[in-house]
Amino acid sequence: MINRGYAPTNKPSDTLVIHCVDHRFQEAFKEFITNEMGIAVFNPVVIAGGAFAVSSEHLSRYSYIWDQIDFFVTAGGVKRVVLINHGDCKWYIKENPDLEISDLKEKGKTDLARAANNVREKYPGIEVVSVWSELSGDSIRFQRIA
């Protein structure tokens, strides 16, 4: 057992963030959410493919994600959902084996829009923010998607 204690935050969060597990993006996601979006405290749902699970035609396969969203919205007071997808996502390739790498960006952005619509339909009044991210040289760039 580790003897060092870590302090929990007592700050409330009204934001749920859904993004991919890809280790290359984790620090950039947190910095973007905190510094660029100004969200100091948020509830992360980290899953391979990020918003794919919320946008998929196979929503029943990802019902546990909807259970988590429902919990955070109804019991956790979430009023905003941030959906983040990223370029060269290996999960997208796994789930769409016929998808060309060159089409991944379009598919990822289309899925962001579908995921945002799915959340808005299920939870009217919830603010939904969609963000596309991708590696550009040695940095990660972010773009909000309308």
Predicted confidence at residue 62, as pLDDT, reads: 85
Question: What does pLDDT average to over the chain?
Answer: 90
CATH code linked to domain 15-145: 3.40.1050.10
Cα 48 to chain centroid distance, Å, stands at: 10
3-state helix, strand, coil in the chain (%, to 5): 40, 25, 35
92 or 140: which carries more pLDDT confidence? 140
pLDDT of residue 1: 67
User: What global pTM score does this model have?
Assistant: 0.91
pLDDT in the model for residue 93: 84
